[in-house]
Amino acid sequence: MDGTIILSREETPIREAPERSRQPQSRQQEECGLRVAQVVAGLSQALDLGSGQPVGHAVRTCLLAMRIAEEIGLSSAMKSDLFYGSLFKDAGCSMNASKMFHTLASDEIRAKRDLKMTDWTRMSWETVSYAFRNVAPGRPMAQRMAALLRVAGNSKTRNWEITKIRCERGAEIARMVGFSEGTAAAIASLDEHWNGSGLPERLSREQIPMLSRIMLLAQTLDVFFTARGAADALWVIQARKGEWFDPKLVDAVESIDACGYLWADVSGDFVYDVVLTMEPEPKWMREEDETFKAICLAFSQIVDSKSPFTFSHSENVAQIARAMGETMQLNKSRLSALKNAALLHDLGKMAVSNEILEKPAGLDEDEWRVMRLHPFYTWKILHSVPRFGEVGEIAAAHHEKLDGSGYFRGFGSGQLSLEARILAVAEIMDALCTKAPWRTGLTSEAALRVLWKDTPHKLDANCVAALEESGLHLA
């Protein structure tokens, strides 16, 4: 199995909050709770993983976009829409993952990463090379040629469908969280090109929202800057000036570069902190606010949309875990942390390709190594968000076992909180009752029997008893 994508993630660690971000909270923070930008910026790392980009891509795109906005004199209201649009631009990236995997018969995360480096709007050696790298690699030549011919035969329709799914779903999720229509529209038209060669609506010139034009340019700058350096990034946008990009925006980028600060802090340790200073109108929320609940729910849906076999999995697990927690008489604060951990426990699966998630047979050793890393990514992402530390500890332990045989850390009973034990049982319960590529779902009664067989050595018997007593998921 080609583990390039995952290995590149290990070499580019998910952001740890720098020391200067860990200062005591101000009175405003204590009164208002969480800053929306900090939460969304931290969780956007999951979107980076699902898009095949080095972590921090969305934040770096945001930084570059805001510099362009400043250069062209964008209004404060439009800057605010652009700020969140840039961070949330890939919210629909998981919705087309399964379709892309089945179309290409390969690792869709690697293919998405590769596509960002390719001018897919015209037939050239570049697009042919992309196809040979990403269509059915490793298969017998006869199968590869058949797959290549199939993909080439309906490439226009396929590209339109895949892009449309991602853009529409991304805009829908932005509205669900409560972002403005300007932000949603910017996400919906992210892949439109100045000359009309983009997708999904073939918009051109001023038909394309200004924020979409800025975001596409900023995104491309970061992709090539991160992969090849500043010179190549500038060369690409100049080469695509008037084709992909609004010429005036390219001129603005060149003006910023001439002043010497285009790339300042883009690759630095404090890029997150710099981006936060660029937010025109900081927004705040409490954990009990609808905005906070909507963000957690949105990211749970983003993850679960990766595969048809995990639809509503995180929401189901959250419902089961909460019912168990109520049965075990956890207080309101602990129930809230448990529910949020359940909703976000699979964030790390954004780093796992559908080639693995939807494999009908058992995973080989390399594939298991990749799969076992997903709780680690969940832990790293959540620990990068202020005040999400406890949620991260619970969420990352959802595959741990009392006897130390679980993953990713091999924790034993003495290291697992009650909430972590509850989540482990709830996760297994929903997984057993859900259809998977390698088996049909069990009835609730049969799943409970499996759970009881793993007590008390692997699973907490009191938690399994609480599940049974709650009556939830026992239809």
* Residues in contact with 200: Cβ distance below 8 Å, sequence separation at least 6, in sequence order: 160, 163, 164, 167, 168, 191
Computed on alpha carbons and rounded to an integer, the radius of gyration of the chain in Å comes to 23
Query: DSSP string covering 425-440, please?
Result: HHHHHHHHHS-BTTBP
CA distances in angstroms from 193 to 6, 212, 261, listed in the order given:
31, 9, 26
Q: Which of 260, 339, 255 is nearest to 293 (CA)?
A: 339
Position with higher pLDDT, 29 vs 422: 422
Q: Is the pLDDT assigned to residue 451 strictly greater than 50? A: yes
Read off the DSSP letter of residue 24. Answer: P
Q: Is the pLDDT assigned to residue 22 strictly greater than 80? A: no
Q: In the predicted model, what is the mean pLDDT of residues 292-316?
A: 94
Share of the chain above pLDDT 90, in %: 80
Band (pLDDT 50/70/90 cuts) for residue 360 is: confident
Average pLDDT, the chain: 91
The CATH-assigned architecture of domain 4-96+160-285 is Orthogonal Bundle (1.10)
Q: Is the pLDDT assigned to residue 28 strictly greater than 70? A: no
Peptide bond just before 408 cis, omega within 30 deg = yes
290-470 is a CATH 1.10.3210.10 domain: yes
CA atoms within 13 A on the CB side of 390: 12
pLDDT at residue 311 in the model = 85
CA 260/CA 344 separation, integer angstroms:
40
Q: In the predicted model, what is the mean pLDDT of residues 346-370?
A: 94
Sequence spans of domains, the chain: 4-96+160-285, 290-470
* Residues in contact with 417: Cβ distance below 8 Å, sequence separation at least 6, in sequence order: 393, 394, 397
Q: Is the pLDDT assigned to residue 190 strictly greater than 90? A: yes
pLDDT at residue 335 in the model = 97
Domains 4-96+160-285 and 290-470 are alike in CATH topology: yes
CA distances in angstroms from 224 to 128, 145, 259, 429, listed in the order given:
20, 30, 20, 44
pLDDT at residue 228 in the model = 96
Per the CB < 8 A criterion, the answer to whether 204 and 196 are in contact is yes
From the CB of residue 270, how many other CB atoms can be counted at a distance below 10 Å? Answer: 14
pLDDT at residue 339 in the model = 97
Q: In the predicted model, what is the mean pLDDT of residues 33-38?
A: 93
Band (pLDDT 50/70/90 cuts) for residue 439 is: confident
Give the least confident one: 55-59, 134-138, 299-303, 312-316. 134-138
Band (pLDDT 50/70/90 cuts) for residue 24 is: very low
- The catalytic site residues sit at 349
Q: Is the pLDDT assigned to residue 9 strictly greater than 70? A: no
- Record the pTM: 0.91
Q: In the predicted model, what is the mean pLDDT of residues 326-348?
A: 97
